[in-house]
Chain A
């Protein structure tokens, strides 16, 4: 039975001093003998009141991964079908593979943290920072790479007088896709609360999904445009989430 606790390695002198060998000392807290069913009726009420959104929270981790993948593919497909970048045919394939590798690697890391079930040991804070840093570095690398090409007239726009207009347009486009992805990540990520808000890594993943969507939409290859209109997409979503969470927790 489960009560047959194994006590491998508890020093005998400590065990003797603070509890009989093979038993647990009571240190602080409530006694184990308090009403075992206390709180059960309330829990039943919560379970009985679960609606469709709550049922989403009962999806298995595999299904969550599949849905997160579908979310990414779905948004990218919408972009490719409805509003794909004009230079797609001439964009160097090797460069595109490198770009996507640099973006999808950090996205996978962010998803790995945000979809991790609560029944697995918590990811250390350092790994959360690494996941975000990997995304920042990935985006930075992408911006720092030489201009991918100048083979299409649309790729040369977004500088001079049209800089702010085009950068603003891309920012809005990426932000709207990131916002959609944030809603999806809110449903899929394991945040352990009843609030349908993803954690920071979930929002970061959503921001990267918005960035990838934008990648397949905008043909401009000029670094200044990419910095101003593309790289900034995740930041407002993170800022709004931070503000909302602070308000809710306050």
Chain B
């Protein structure tokens, strides 16, 4: 079985047993996603790279705490978001609203001139949400975590997370789902980059 086929938990178990290649496989699998997640909050590319590195360094240091039967993905996101919080606390700043240093070509699908504008609109709508709702929606929608894992990451009950998500989605819908945005979105905005 290749590392691509092995689950996160199998790779983590292998790493705990001393298999460095398993750690590398986890890094390759999750570093790009974490870069994306963190760059929604932090504009500085170097700081994002540093936090991703710190996340995996902390994953390495916390490996003794990882219990059999636990899911790795919420674990990893929790570390990353905790480090992001510490980053903001150190800097004395609030989370930024992304798009800062990111090249225009990286933001959207090539050849779609409207896409950056649509992305910005969605981004601004997200930034206007209360932090708790925004965090839940980002983890649920953009990161694709099920509510159970989102609950684990944010430290709330699953039902509380569903309520936050519902309220956040309602606000987004009220602000965003108008004909112009829907038209732009229907032309391909948001195709997955997975």
CB contact list, A9-60 vs B, under 8 A = 9-11, 13-20, 23-40, 42-43, 46-47, 54, 57-60
Option from B27, B33, B147, B177 in Cβ contact (under 8 Å) with A8: B147
A42 to B146, CA, bound (A): 32
Q: How many chain B residues touch A (Cβ–Cβ < 8 Å)?
A: 87
Option from B39, B64, B141 in Cβ contact (under 8 Å) with A28: B39
A58 touches B61 (CB 8 A): yes
Q: How many chain A residues touch B (Cβ–Cβ < 8 Å)?
A: 57
CB contact list, B21-55 vs A, under 8 A = 24, 27-29, 31-33, 35-40, 45, 48-49, 52-54
Chain A residues, CB < 8 A from B181:
17
Chain A residues, CB < 8 A from B140:
9-10
Take A24-B142, A24-B192, A28-B40 as given contacts and tell me if A119 and B62 are in contact as well, using a CB distance cutoff of 8 Å: yes
In the complex, the chain B residue whose C-beta lies closest to that of A17 is: B185
List 22 A-B residue pairs with CB atoms under 8 Å apart, sorted by A's residue number. A2-B7, A14-B169, A17-B181, A18-B185, A24-B194, A25-B119, A26-B119, A26-B190, A27-B98, A28-B102, A29-B35, A29-B38, A30-B102, A32-B32, A43-B57, A58-B61, A58-B63, A117-B62, A121-B82, A121-B153, A122-B81, A192-B82
Chain B residues, CB < 8 A from A60:
64-65
B residues sitting closer than 8 Å to A (CB atoms) are: 5, 7-8, 24, 27-29, 31-33, 35-40, 45, 48-49, 52-54, 56-66, 73, 75, 78-79, 81-83, 85-86, 90-91, 97-99, 102, 106-108, 118-119, 122-123, 126, 140-147, 152-156, 162, 165-166, 169, 172-173, 176-177, 181-182, 185-186, 189-194
Instruction: Known pairs A7-B144, A24-B141; list 17 more (Cβ under 8 Å).
Output: A2-B73, A7-B141, A9-B162, A18-B190, A19-B192, A25-B189, A28-B40, A29-B98, A30-B35, A39-B49, A40-B28, A61-B65, A118-B58, A118-B82, A119-B62, A121-B156, A192-B82
A residues sitting closer than 8 Å to B (CB atoms) are: 1-3, 5-11, 13-20, 23-40, 42-43, 46-47, 54, 57-61, 63, 117-122, 191-193, 249
A216 to B161, CA, bound (A): 47
Take A9-B162, A192-B83 as given contacts and tell me if A31 and B36 are in contact as well, using a CB distance cutoff of 8 Å: yes
B157 to chain A: closest CB distance in Å?
11
B27 touches A37 (CB 8 A): yes
B190 touches A119 (CB 8 A): no
Chain B residues, CB < 8 A from A42:
53
In the complex, the chain A residue whose C-beta lies closest to that of B71 is: A2
A5 to B53, CA, bound (A): 24
A141 to chain B: closest CB distance in Å?
30
Chain B, interface SS category: helix
B29 touches A36 (CB 8 A): yes
A118 touches B98 (CB 8 A): no
In the complex, the chain B residue whose C-beta lies closest to that of A2 is: B8
A31 touches B106 (CB 8 A): yes
Chain A residues, CB < 8 A from B153:
121
B66 to chain A: closest CB distance in Å?
8
A28 to B142, CA, bound (A): 11
In the complex, the chain A residue whose C-beta lies closest to that of B35 is: A30
A85 to chain B: closest CB distance in Å?
39
A31 to B186, CA, bound (A): 20
In the complex, the chain B residue whose C-beta lies closest to that of A54 is: B61
B122 touches A18 (CB 8 A): yes
A29 to B138, CA, bound (A): 12
A25 to B120, CA, bound (A): 12
B53 touches A32 (CB 8 A): no
B129 to chain A: closest CB distance in Å?
13
In the complex, the chain A residue whose C-beta lies closest to that of B100 is: A28
Take A36-B29, A36-B31, A43-B53 as given contacts and tell me if A28 and B98 are in contact as well, using a CB distance cutoff of 8 Å: yes
A119 to B162, CA, bound (A): 22
A31 to B154, CA, bound (A): 24
Chain A residues, CB < 8 A from B28:
36-37, 40
B8 to chain A: closest CB distance in Å?
6
Option from A33, A47, A121 in Cβ contact (under 8 Å) with B193: A33
B83 to chain A: closest CB distance in Å?
6
